[in-house]
Structure 1
Amino acid sequence: MVAHYRDEKAARALPALVPMHSQHVDEGYRIVAPDATLTAVVAHVQWLDNHPGGPDTHVMISFEDGANVEFPFDVPLTAVWHDERRAIPSADLAAAAPATWRTPAGRWK
């Protein structure tokens, strides 16, 4: 399990569903996937400096289950703190789900 250094108390003070852009996703969150489920916890976020689109244009989000997903900057996502204890209605998750993600970038090593 990854150690999360973010302020847990501050994270719990936010709404359960937190809208954010892809480049602002932080470790310790789970992201609402296109199928309206929550991903594994975000373990690492890396801005891709050597991306063909140029530096500071794409981000690689790596999850605790080893999956990676690459996003261009400014993709709207919805995140949930990993230790969220409030119930989130499935209708709210469905409304927050993106239409699609790009192809996963492969397993994180």
Structure 2
Amino acid sequence: MAAKYYRDERAARRQPVLISRSSQGVEEGYRLVGPGGALTPIISHVQWLDNHPDGPDTHVMISFADGTNVEFPFDVRLAAIWYDEQRAVSDTDLLEAAPIVWGAPAEPWCQASRRGL
């Protein structure tokens, strides 16, 4: 079953194709430009990790529609694109938007915290 996103799609289409966001500011319904300029699956959930060992408001878990998760420290600059963007984006633009820093693959925070990690 395909995911459906009900945020203001018209507003998303009025933005530039690639938008710059901090890791804690990305939203569901977008795809990120990952390392090497590849697009990630659609973001399905973003959760601030309040009980993170480094303290509250320091890390965010981004969960993707394919079931993968990436944990980012706050303030990592990322480029996002609306999941259903129809405007063309060149490979050059994607490469230029690729992040300098990428997060770490992770399992959902609730599973890790249950095991005491």
TM-score when normalising by structure 2: 0.87
Paired position in structure 2 for 1:25: 26
Measured on the aligned residues, the alpha-carbon RMSD in Å equals: 1.6
1:99 CA drift (Å)? 2.8
Paired position in structure 1 for 2:40: 39
Q: Percent identity?
A: 60
SS of match in other structure, 1:4: coil
Q: Is the contact between residue 73 and residue 103 of structure 2 (CA under 8 Å) also seen in structure 1?
A: no
The structure with the largest alpha-carbon Rg is: 2
Query: Whole-Å Cα distance in 1 between the matches of residues 108 and 41 of structure 2?
Result: 13
Q: How does 1:10-89 map to 2 (within 5 A)?
A: 10-89=11-90
TM-score when normalising by structure 1: 0.93
- Which portions of structure 1, spanning 4 or more consecutive aligned residues, are displaced by more than 3 angstroms? 106-109
Q: Is the contact between residue 66 and residue 107 of structure 1 (CA under 8 Å) also seen in structure 2?
A: no
1:56 CA drift (Å)? 0.8
SS of match in other structure, 1:12: helix
- Number of equivalenced pairs: 109
